[in-house]
Structure 1
Amino acid sequence: MPPRLLTLGQLKLGGLDFKREKPLLLLAYLCLSGIQLRRRVAQQFWPDAANPMNSLAVAVAQLRRADPELIGASETHLHTALPCDVQAFREALAVGDLGAAAALYQGPFLADLRLAELPEELEEWVMTTREDLADTYRRAWMAEARRQSGQAEQAAAAQAAARAYRLGAATPLPPELLRELYNLLSAAQHPDAHLIEQEARGLGLTLTPQDAGAAPLLGRRHELARLGQLRAGETLWVCGAVGLGKSALLRASALGSQLSGGQLLLGRSGHAFQTLEPLISASTHAPSHSAPASASDWLAFLGARTAPLLLDDWEAADTESRRVLLALAHSRAGPPLIISSRERSALGSGSGLSELTLRPLEAQELGGDLYARTGGLPTLIEAVRQQRPCLEALSGLLAPLTPRARQLLACLTVQVQPDARITGAALQLGPEELAEAHEHLQRAGWLDGNELRARDTLRGWLGAQPSLEAEVLTLLAPQLPPADALPLYLRAQALTGSSELPGFQAALAASAAALLDAEQESEAEGLLAAHARTPETWLLHARALDALGRGPEALKRLADLPRTPDVQAVRSLALWRTGHTEEARHAAQVALSGDLAARARGHMVLGTLALAAQEYPQAKAAFSRACGLFRLLGDDLGYLKLLCQQAVAMTELADDLTATIHEIKMLSAQHPQAVILNNIGWLLERQNEPEQALDFYRQAAQLAQNKQQAAAAALAWNNVGALEQRLTHFEDAEQAYQNAITHARLTGETHTLAMVLGNLGELKGSLPLIEEAIELLRGTGQEHLIAYFEGQRAAFTARSGEI
């Protein structure tokens, strides 16, 4: 006998003498959750272990020693094909076989497990699953109680209601369900009615027996008409998945005017002809002692009827009753016969007998808001009409789904635009398996073509199950392009607390690099500050910090990284911005031995240093090399920035700038960036077009402020101030300098702050400000600026009469 996992009431492996609790719990988790990532399982089961992956490997080895077929494992994933009592229990409930379900449900899920010894996340999964199974079982008994009540079987209805009420491990009963149970139990004077009355009193509720009354059936007028048109000898097979309204349709037909005198039977099993027995007590011409004893007697009895006959829940009916009804249908001699089933017609192909497939209701029959919440699924519609939580009704609809189907539904819920190839790869499903699972969800009413129904409600369901949501996110994200994967990783991180999920750092690096290339440094820095865990993402974080003018923080982030050429390329920029000229030059030289990107940044820093030292030929040559490398990298924005810098050096060398400025203007229209706008302003100022230059400077300053680029904003405002001062607009110049100082203080860039202070000192005739600027510049390598401000200081003292 092959081994079978038992989890209801106890945790043990039937057919094998294996009692290790943690490996058995691992099997239960895989049975119910489907394929899983090894790393995710290791962190969930052994979060405090020194090496969780090693602990997982030990558990897998123990299971394989017991039986190699118990667990399947690859380098990245785990799964099991082991049969489990929970799967059989759910299947029994799905077909309405309460007898089989009761035999399987020996107690709450993993009732004997020592929860206090489990990690928190695993304990939560056990408790959630325990409640979910108990709630599903309670709903089945409630459905049975309602069926019995509809047949005026008050005692049987009360017994089923009592089973639902006394079920342990389920979630607390909501007030509306307490009232319904009280009505069912009170009608039969069951003793549990008093217990419910006491419980309700403790909740501040007053219960009185009353008839609930039925709400009118929505959106099924065509189906009701089809049932009402059925004639003697005709059979209609009504099929549809759980929750599509088969029972409501048959009940409405039996109670309404469509099928006058129709008798509604409920599928039941336990002994032969149990489903048909209510016809004897309801018959006015057949006393109970003359009940048919054989299939042929039953067939004759039914053939003599004229009133329509309706059977709800074909799967739950006993075998003998089903055989008689099939024979009646094929005879075409009986009353109008209607049968509801979850599956397609069992009458046989080519029988010529009619079939009606129920589907979700359409939006035009419900209104936009109700359709959006329910997707047209009748069970959800009824929950909304009764003001019950949709999630409660939803769990009943999802209970019959296999773990794989639930994973697929969760994957489709997560994706904005589901992709079959990506979903199949995430769940390791081949094309045929994926098509079959897709078909299963379509039959269940969850898919309308490729569109998911009730997506917002399903998102609520998934959000209430963090373990399942984290599971599908971590399976799906590695299959997506980085830009699409990052939102999934961020959601998984919020659920698990881990930024080290497989593939997370690669997706983070790709997304952050794209943000930096688009000069969205603030967004990139926020992401990287929260989630960077690898040298690659730490380097990107340093780039973001440096671009935001936070040079000292960038250097601190780089401090623990090896001094490779790509690290030195970023480090050289931060060193230059913070006034460490010689260190910046050395780091840039090292960067020249790296790849294209490192070399491009190295030449850029060397060109900047040469420009600051007024070594214009060297600056032009370095910028020219950097331009060529950025072109090879396909980085048009980087190329444009360096082309502007090259144009500055060319201006100082009195080169012809006609072609260069034309190219800059053409490219800048495609890439409006603060640094570029600032450089264009400088070039226009040098060409004696001050008003146009001022406009570009102000655009650059505003754009840099909007993007929180402090360094670029400080430089642009300084240029606004210098030009306004030259144009003798002194008040505007002073305000611009104050703006520049505000931003420069945020950057840690010594030379920018010194330059602005010196300019402001010159404007206001303030010797202390000029001297402060000179002190800040000492040791930065900005000798030409020091010389300039020393000249200003000498002029100031001469005007003051000092030597």
Structure 2
Amino acid sequence: MTNAVATAEERAVLQTLGGLRLGTFRRVKPLLLLAFVALEGPTPRRRLAELLWPGAQQPDSSLRVALHALRDRNAGALRSEDPVDSGLPCDAARLLTLSGPDVLAAYPGPFLHGVDLQGTSAEFEEWVLTQRERLARHVQAELLTDAERAEPARAAALAEQVFRLPGAPPPEPEMLRRLLPLSLPGSALETELRAEAQGFEDPEEGAATTPIRTRRMLGRAVELDALLAWATLPGGGVAAVSGPGGIGKSTLGRELLRELQALGRDVTHVDAEGALYGSELLSRLAAVRAPGHAAPTGWAAAGRVLGERPVVLLDGLDALEDLPELLHEVGRSLPDVRWVLTGRRRLGLPRGLAGPTPTTLESGTAALALRLGGLECPPPEAEAPEVQESPAVALFVREARRIQRGFAVAPANAALLSGLVRRLEGHPLALTLAASWLRVEPLEDVYVRILQSGATLHDVGSGKRGLAAVAERSWALLQASEQRALLRLSVFADFDPADALALGIPEADLNALLDHSFLEAHRPGSERLRIYPALESLVHTHGPVHAALLEEARGEHARHYLEWFGSRSPTDPAVAEESGNVLRAIRTALQAGTLEAGLLYHLMSHYDGLALAVTGTDVFQRLCDLIEDVQAPPEVQAAGQIACMWLAQRAGRLLDAQTLATRFLSGPLADDRGNRMRVLNTLAVVRSEQGQLRIAVSLTREALAIARDTKDLNRQAGYLTNLLGGLTRLGEFEEVLELLPEAQKLLPHGSSLTLGETLLWVQLEMPSPNYENILSEANVLLSRIQNTGNLFSKLQVLLYLGMAHLGIGQPRKTLICTRQITDLTRDHQYLDNTIHTMFLEAQALYALGRTPQARSRVQAGIKIALEQRNNNNMNIWKGLIICAEDLSNYFPDTINSYILQLCSNNEADASLKTRADKLKRDSHDKIEFNDLKDIAMHLIKLLQDLKT
């Protein structure tokens, strides 16, 4: 054997799953020896000889031969020879350390599959079968846990893999109970699971035990049927499912999605718990339907990723502040979407609207309101057969079997169970908590404690009484360390178990809280946990007694998450996952007086970079209130206000941004030149968006002067970019030429790509562009961008390349550039870029004599421009200029009146007015000024008329 082969063998992993081999070495007995040692640990030589060579005349000699073969083949195979111990990694041992979906990839087949065990002892064969089942069950358990957190389609696929996993023993009743709700209704898997479950029913007539219940849901058939009937109606609609915490609203919503998924409907589950604003829900919806892509600019844009006849579950809307406005907005923007809302309150639908019958509102929306109470309980006189049919009892029994596998309804306990579930009013979470008590006491004692707890309660109805009766007892059953862990976890919004461990909460306490049903995995497809919202009252009750503990926990939580947040890029997807914890940490640090202003700017960049400006504005408005309440240091006050006004303008709330900026500039915080510079720039951007370009340029000059004085090269580059853009739009080319040398020197600083793009555009807008020079610079910049992965910059430079090609009479090369842009933006929404690309393509098509196609592109571009809702939208004017010469041949007076209106617009771009001057005809008629939206609508109609 060569040295290369020996080295490869030494690095090999002992493969026992799906076969047996060590690199190219396949001698069975030596490898079986290694497999046993890998899973059982160091083993005496005599023990191995008895297991593997029971019929040999000299088993010790056979063992020596095997050990020699291993040493000869792999120097690292044996760590010691008496007891025998191996130093090699083994795939089976590694599999047992894996969790989540990773286990399936690490499981190519059953343990020692197809390996000939002839000549080994019966005890060894039994050991192999035991290990085979142990490893397969580990894979099944991890996949099943993952499936129970997944959305319906993925959950069904994982359930199928669990059920059919090679090497797994026949499924036990508990596994069948968990698998059935994950299968899609009517599927082949559901049929097989039900058939398997029937085999566990007691065949003896009059048997006392209860057959295994494998129904998907317990006691919600009427509500589920009502939701399914509502979902089949044409058009959009809204269904509100409300009820006390832990009553089963989310379970009902998820089951609805599973049923609809089986019928081929497009369904989406959005975890809405903790969301304060509609904009935050929009970003969560986008993260589910289009992960990794920029958030849509509005609800109408979100409709593009929802599929056909979609149904969207917004699960847990209790914190939302603007629900009526949200319902109005989604109804207007997405009229064909069916929305299912769940929450503890009644969710804003008209009073009196309740029950399983859909209603049509005045707006024409199909509405349904369901108020959930406890599960149906048996009457006091019920006998055992009737008790076991009760949904409330069935739920208690299901949860009890997680603790006592043989637990069942019988004549001896039927009355106890019946009375117990009635005292708890059939509340599902209360039943689950009460079942967990069986870990420490018998059923009789559980019943007595519930009686005693319930006797002290008054005026607690609609299922809340049941939860209140057991919550305190469940708290009392926790050990002191587990109680402390629960209180410490209450400072989290939700958490990754690894973060809880990092903050000193032991894994044993986490597992205990899960066993006692205090924690839930609430996001499909995620391992993140949180305290059941319905149990947060325990924290409010016991928190004051442990005030020092909670204060310490908040401090540790804030230090951990703020340090973590500050070390991450603000647009890192992980930041969005932890946004709830980051915001809690910022509030804690604010109240403690330890927050650094830089973290607020970092948070602003998070919302800005992920196109979540609307949500960011709402968040910072609340933060600014808190900053004022705690009388934070001036630099923190300034950072909060500047971030708020910046995000407001990015969200299109121009009046809000203008008001905040104007008030700031007249206050004492503006005495700091750095603060003043930032706010001047923000106000300049606002004025530019409002069409007040000359004021914007003046404000930018002032901000740039401060950046020069303070030697802030990054902001110099940014403000100079804005100033060059404004001056070019105004046609102030002399000042532009004066500033170009300074801009060239600043290219290595700040957002050099943005400045480089602006310089290209400025040259294109000059009275006499040097197109050859522009092409050369654009290609250089494009090669730089290729290495950064900056899609938006790439799109901009490709656009300018296309404009330069058109300028030198190469329209076909222009079309190549526009096609590249279109290919790159199939999965992204950049309205401005899309409009400009369509207009550039139209100009190229006109130049190639393809007028019908050019008209279609102009028409499409103007339609998209209308979505921007800008009172002085330059894109609409650009569309007019591009098609003006064409349309003047058919509608000369109309087009000329629009051109004259453009010429008289003081805020229009200089280049547009220059082109308009060349197109206008003298007219003695008085100019009739039209609303810009009306002009756009008329242009669309004219282009359509010519097309048909």
TM-score by length of structure 2 reads 0.37
So what's the TM-score if we normalise by structure 1? 0.42
